[in-house]
């Protein structure tokens, strides 16, 4: 029996080896077949493209043959070239205008940026004013710095000194205002609340050891301080405004200046005042102090003799208001920026219009170029004819190659079919040999050969068997002789072995049946236990609800639960 098993097994192995070789060969032929198939598809596509190109060239050649001749082509080409030159000229003019507009827009933008820089310089005078205060009075400067960090200590607002909070509208009038207001008041803080004034001065003197001035603003509104007569009454003498109109400041500061310096009643005029001082004294006795651009005039009348005395004081250049904001210049620059922005918008709109014209002309240029290209097509009839002949030659060459490839493809296809038939026969023969070997060895058709040989303890012998057919036959004869000798020596042992083997199989079958029955009973028990647990849990939940309700009525807490151990 061992000889038959080994013989059949070797036949199977040889058939497997042949099958593997045939499979590799089929794979190679299949790959070559796919490669040829792709080459054929490429040739078909190339042939189709050449056919389409050939048809197109034949149609173009026919169309060109029906044209009016070279003279008509030349006239059309000259007309298109002329139109193209005119459009190019228009395009150049539009581009020149656009470049000019771009330069103008950039100039406007530069002007706006320059004006904005000047505006920032005009408006940023606070820091320079603070530096001027530092040079004029160090203690007041330190007090201003301290106040900016400690404003929350006071009930109301404490205004910074007039040097900082007062702004002369026109820098040319700065010396008038600075001459009229004393320096002590120019460096004075203005408080709105009397408690703040007391607290501020105590902080300055006792804690900071600073010598500063502070005043309290009067309670009446600034609008209550009005001149005795409108300025128009004095315009014939050369007066133009009251001093109150020369500067701006916070309303409490203005109240203080009206009360202490009568800035709402001090007229200011032009150089014409110098020629009208006598008339002003006689016709306007209420004016005891007034200003020309460079001079302060003071008038005094004796209560007893009624004599009038005049004093003219030349005005000094300002020290505190050298960096006043030029409001007129600020307004002028602001208006210029508005006008420039409007002008920029107009130029940008004009540029957009030119851009539209440019796009339109560019489209027209492209159309004329396309027409020019179409006209030039007539000049290439000969080239197209030559190209047509070349394409025809390529077409016929490709067609001949395609025929050769088709014949080769058909031969390969026949060879592949033959290989497939051979493989099929080999597989069938291999399967037949394998079934015969298993039948001879007493192995079922669905059993694994390796597992069965391992069970019988001959797998290693099988794997270590000789590879050559002659050596294998010699080994089979040797094993057969040894087996026959063993059987003849002790046949009773063999019969006893077979009987024990049958008993073992019978016991294994009974054990398997018992295990299956045990598993079925276990599953039934678990299912019954699961249903019982579910019913028990529902009952416990109902009891727990009632139990919790009764305990809550007793103002207590309690619950009933089911504890299930992990391994019951």
What DSSP assignment string belongs to 215-246?
EE--SS-GGG---SS-GGGGGGGTEEEEGGGG
CA distance 443 to 466: 23
Residue 91 · residue 365 · CB < 8 Å: yes
Q: Which residue has the tokens 């301080």?
A: 225
Q: Which tokens sit at 567? A: 């391994």
- Torsion angle of alpha carbons 136, 139, 144, 150, nearest 10°? 180
Q: If DSSP codes are grouped into helix, strand and coil, which group holds residue 125?
A: coil
CA distance 260 to 216: 11
Residue 1 confidence (pLDDT): 46
Residue 143 · residue 227 · CB < 8 Å: no
- Residues in contact with 218: Cβ distance below 8 Å, sequence separation at least 6, in sequence order: 255, 256, 259
CA distance 444 to 431: 14
Residue 392 confidence (pLDDT): 54
Neighbours of 192 (CB within 10 A): 19
Residue 368 confidence (pLDDT): 74
CA distance 160 to 157: 9
Which element (helix H / strand E) includes 295? strand 295-301
- Give the bridge partners for 190, in sequence order: 159, 215
Which residue from 437, 425, 428 is spatially nearest to 11, judged by alpha carbons? 437
Which residue from 141, 252, 238, 243 is spatially nearest to 196, judged by alpha carbons? 252
CA distance 215 to 257: 11
Q: Which residue has the tokens 């045939």?
A: 22
Residue 508 confidence (pLDDT): 78
Q: Which tokens sit at 420? A: 């497939």
Neighbours of 143 (CB within 10 A): 26
Chunked in runs of 10, what are the mean pLDDT values of the chain (568 residues)?
A: 54 61 69 73 71 64 53 70 78 82 86 79 72 91 95 94 89 91 94 95 94 94 92 92 93 95 94 88 88 90 75 88 65 82 84 82 78 64 55 58 64 67 70 70 69 70 66 69 57 73 80 81 80 77 76 72 64
- Give the bridge partners for 300, in sequence order: 309
Residue 6 confidence (pLDDT): 55
Q: If DSSP codes are grouped into helix, strand and coil, which group holds residue 58?
A: helix
Which residue from 388, 335, 285 is spatially nearest to 61, judged by alpha carbons? 388
- Give the bridge partners for 347, in sequence order: none
CA distance 126 to 478: 122
Q: Which residue has the tokens 């005039």?
A: 297
Neighbours of 453 (CB within 10 A): 19
Residue 534 confidence (pLDDT): 80
């Amino acid at each position: 029996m061992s000889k038959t098993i080994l013989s059949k097994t070797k036949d199977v192995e040889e058939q497997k080896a042949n099958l593997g070789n045939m499979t590799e060969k089929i794979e190679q032929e299949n790959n070559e077949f796919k490669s040829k198939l792709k080459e054929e598809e490429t040739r078909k596509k190339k042939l189709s493209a050449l056919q389409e190109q050939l048809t197109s060239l034949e149609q173009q050649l026919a169309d060109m043959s029906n044209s009016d001749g070279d003279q008509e082509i030349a006239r059309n080409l000259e007309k298109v070239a002329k139109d193209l030159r005119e459009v190019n000229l228009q395009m150049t003019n539009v581009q020149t205008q656009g470049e000019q507009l771009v330069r103008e827009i950039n100039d406007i933008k530069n002007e706006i940026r320059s004006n904005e820089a000047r505006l920032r310089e005009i408006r940023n005078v606070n820091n320079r004013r603070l530096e001027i205060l530092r040079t004029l009075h160090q203690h007041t400067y330190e007090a201003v710095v301290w106040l900016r960090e400690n404003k929350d200590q006071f009930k109301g607002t404490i205004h910074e000194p007039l040097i900082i909070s007062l702004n002369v509208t026109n820098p040319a009038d700065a010396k008038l205002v600075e001459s009229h207001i004393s320096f002590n008041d120019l460096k004075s803080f203005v408080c709105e609340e009397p408690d703040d004034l007391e607290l501020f001065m105590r902080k300055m003197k006792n804690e900071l050891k600073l010598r500063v001035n502070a005043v309290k603003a009067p309670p009446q509104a600034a609008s209550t301080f009005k001149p005795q007569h409108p300025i128009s009454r004095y315009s014939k003498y050369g007066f133009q405004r009251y001093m109150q109109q020369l500067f701006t400041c916070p309303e409490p500061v203005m109240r203080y200046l009206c009360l202490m310096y009568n800035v709402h009643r001090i007229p200011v005029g032009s150089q014409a005042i110098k020629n009208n001082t006598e008339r002003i004294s006689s016709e306007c006795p209420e004016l005891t102090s007034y200003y020309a651009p460079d001079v302060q005039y003071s008038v005094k009348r004796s209560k007893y003799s009624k004599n009038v005395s005049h004093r003219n004081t030349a005005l000094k250049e300002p020290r505190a208001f050298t960096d006043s904001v030029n409001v007129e210049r600020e307004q002028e620059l602001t208006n210029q920026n508005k006008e420039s922005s409007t002008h920029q918008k107009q130029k940008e709109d004009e540029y957009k219009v030119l851009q539209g014209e440019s796009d339109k002309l560019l489209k027209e240029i492209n159309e004329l170029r396309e027409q020019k290209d179409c006209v030039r097509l007539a000049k290439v009839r000969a080239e197209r004819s030559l190209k047509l002949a070349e394409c025809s030659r390529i077409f016929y060459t490709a067609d001949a190659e395609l025929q050769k490839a088709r014949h080769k493809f058909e031969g390969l296809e026949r060879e592949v079919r033959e290989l497939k038939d051979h493989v099929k026969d080999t597989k069938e023969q291999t399967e037949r040999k394998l079934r015969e070997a298993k039948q001879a060895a007493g192995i079922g058709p669905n059993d694994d050969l390796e597992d069965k040989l391992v069970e019988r303890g001959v797998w290693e012998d099988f794997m270590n068997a000789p590879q050559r057919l002659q050596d294998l036959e010699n080994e089979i004869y040797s094993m057969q002789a040894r087996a026959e000798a063993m059987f003849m020596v002790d046949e009773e042992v063999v019969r006893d072995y077979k009987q024990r083997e049958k008993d073992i199989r019978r016991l294994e079958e009974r054990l398997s049946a018992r295990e299956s029955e045990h598993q079925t009973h276990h599953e039934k028990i678990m299912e019954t236990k699961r249903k019982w647990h579910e019913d028990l849990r529902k009952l416990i939940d109902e009891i727990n609800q009632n139990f919790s309700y009764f305990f809550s009525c007793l103002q207590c807490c309690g619950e009933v639960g089911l504890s299930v151990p992990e391994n019951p």
